[in-house]
Structure formats: structure tokens, C-alpha cells
Structure 1
Amino acid sequence: MKISIGNDHAGPDYKKAIVAFLEQNGHKIINHGTDTFDSVDYPDFGHLVAKDVETGKVDFGIVICGSGNGINMTVNKHQGIRAALCWTKEIATLARQHNNANIISIPARFTSIQQTIEMVDIFLNTNFEGGRHESRVKKITC
């Protein structure tokens, strides 16, 4: 699987751990995030991840900022993106099963790195259920 990841200054440690986990599991990563804790603007990285997913360059995206909200709002401005802000494994599961989310947003200041890795693993390995959820997901697009 090919995955695009982007983060601001709240997420370098999270990104490093996620990338190591994903590469150990055979995934290819496109890294658009910062590797430092110097202040940067999360939209700059979020837009790059969203474009990768939007164009089919990657299968999924992962975005990280302090609350997860700003970068989540950014990526959801793109057509075809269904990003879900996740802070538990259960939310990550439902985001895929019911919403066919294609980007997971991580709130670095509200989850541990271990929780984050578990959420990412579940997100990437959970299938969309379709069925009754299909028509709802289609209604998301304007």
C-alpha cells in the first residue's frame, strides 16, 4: 500500500513512529511533513497529502497536527477526500466501515504515539462496509 503523510510541528515524533511502523509492514510512504518542532503552517502539508489521495497517487493519507482539527479541515476542502479526525480505535474503525474515510487525522496533543499507531493500523486494515452506508457517503460530495 502507498500512503502519504503530512504533519506540522506538533507531530514529528508521531510521524517518525508511524512511518517506521508502516515501513516495517511493507508500505511505501510519501513524506510531506516537517521533521522539526519549529512552527510551520499545517495547511501547507495537508494540501499536499490531500492532492496525493485525490489524484490516486496513494491509497490513503495520514495527517497530524496538535488538535487534528485544522489539518482535518484543510484536507476536507479537496474533492473526493473524506478525512476523519480520530482519537480512539473505535472511531478509526467506524470512519472506514461507515464513512469510507481515505485520510485519518491525528490529534497529536490528545493521543499517545502507541494509540496513534494502533489507530493507523486499524484504519488501513478496515474495509468500507458499503450497503446502507454507500448512499450516505455519496451524499457527502456536493
Structure 2
Amino acid sequence: MKVYLATDHAGIRLADMVKDFLLKRGIEVESFLPQEAKVDYPDYAQKICKCVLNDEGSRGILICGTGIGMSISANRFKGIRAALCTDAYMAKMTRMHNDANVLCLGERLSGFGVVESILEAFLDTEFEGERHLSRIQKIELGGC
């Protein structure tokens, strides 16, 4: 699995931690980190969403101060199911029931230990399919 990682200026520390965590697990990471003091989170969400949509089986991780802006921006892309998770249970359930392909995190919301448990759940949990598949199809068709 390949993971695409991006942050705006408010998530640099957490992005560095996430990247190290992924690399230690042997996961291929392509990161988009800002070089300027202030950047706009929608620009980074767009980069990751395009990568995930063009690389079947990959996942994305987006970080900003709260994760809210990244989540809203990412979910504007057809085929992206981005979830803002603040604990491992949320990450597990969004993979099982929503087949989320993008995880959104807030640097100001969760400590590194909690984020590690969120990442483990997001990366290790498979989609259950079955009854959940029809719901995802409704989302993709705009039927909700």
C-alpha cells in the first residue's frame, strides 16, 4: 500500500510524526509538505485526492490544525471518502463501514500516542463490504 500525506502549515509536527510512523511500518509514503509559512489547506487536499484517485489501492492522510478544513475539502472529490478521526474506534469504523480512503487528522486535537492508534486502525482495518457497499454507491451517485 502507498500512502499520500499532506499538511498545511498548522500540521507540520504531526505530519513529520505520521511520516516516520508509516516508514517504520515499511509503508511507501509520498509527502507534500509546505515550504512557506502559510498555505491554503484546500490546495494540499486537492493534491492528495488526485493522487489517491489515480493510484488504486492507495490511501491518503491529510492534516491541518483541526482536520475539519481538510475533511471538507477532500470530500468535494467524487470517489474520495475522507473521514476526520479523533480516536482509533472512529478510524476502524470508517474503514469497515465507509471504506474511507483518506484519513484527516488535527494536530491541535490529538496527541501522538492517540494518532498512532488511529493510524494503526486506519491502515489495518479492511472494508466489510456487503450492506455497506450499497450505501457507498448512494454517496457516489449523490443519492443521499
Question: TM-score scaled by structure 1?
Answer: 0.94
Please report how far the alpha carbon of residue 57 of structure 1 lies from its aligned counterpart in structure 2 after TM superposition: 6.1
Q: Which runs of 5+ in 2 are unaligned?
A: none
* Structure 2 equivalent of residue 32 of structure 1: 32
Q: 2:45 aligns to what SS in structure 1?
A: helix
Please report how far the alpha carbon of residue 33 of structure 1 lies from its aligned counterpart in structure 2 after TM superposition: 2.2
Q: Which runs of 4+ in 1 moved over 3 A?
A: none
Contact residue 52 and residue 58 of structure 1 kept, 8 A: no
Q: Which runs of 5+ in 1 are unaligned?
A: none
How many matched pairs? Answer: 141
Please report how far the alpha carbon of residue 58 of structure 1 lies from its aligned counterpart in structure 2 after TM superposition: 6.1
Q: 2:61 aligns to what SS in structure 1?
A: strand
Question: TM-score scaled by structure 2?
Answer: 0.93
1:99 aligns with 2:98: yes
Provide the rounded CA distance (Å) in 1 between the counterparts of 2:35 and 2:128. Answer: 36
Q: What is the CA RMSD across the aligned residues, in angstroms?
A: 1.4
Provide the rounded CA distance (Å) in 1 between the counterparts of 2:117 and 2:70. Answer: 20
Provide the rounded CA distance (Å) in 1 between the counterparts of 2:57 and 2:33. Answer: 16
Cα deviation, 1:97-116, whole Å, max 9, x if unaligned, reads 00000000001111112211
Letter in 1 for 2:104: S
* Structure 2 equivalent of residue 139 of structure 1: 138
Identity %: 35
Question: Structure 1 stretch 59-68 or stretch 38-47: which is displaced more?
Answer: 38-47
Q: 1:32–1:58: structure 2 CA closer, same or farther, 3 Å change rule? A: farther
